[in-house]
Amino acid sequence: MTHQANAEAVPPGFEPLQRGGPYAAALGPLYLRYGGNNSGERIVIALRVEQRHTNMRGIAHGGMLASLADCALGIGLAIACDGRHSFVTVNLSNDFLDAARPGDWLEGHVEVQRIGRRMAFANGWLQVGEKRILRSSGVFATMDPLTPEQLAAGY
Q: How far apart, in whole angstroms, are the C-alpha atoms of residue 109 and residue 15? A: 15
- pLDDT at site 119: 97
Q: What is the mean pLDDT of each run of 10 residues along the chain (155 residues)?
A: 57 90 91 69 90 97 97 93 90 98 97 95 96 98 81 67
Q: What is the pLDDT of residue 20?
A: 80
Q: Which domain holds residue 121?
A: 3-152
What are the pLDDT digits (tens) for 75-108? Answer: 999 989 887 888 999 999 999 999 999 999 999 9
Question: Mean pLDDT in the chain?
Answer: 89
Overall domain count for the chain: 1
Q: What is the structure's pLDDT at 155?
A: 61
> How many other CB atoms sit within 10 Å of the CB of residue 144?
8
Residue 82: CATH number of its domain: 3.10.129.10
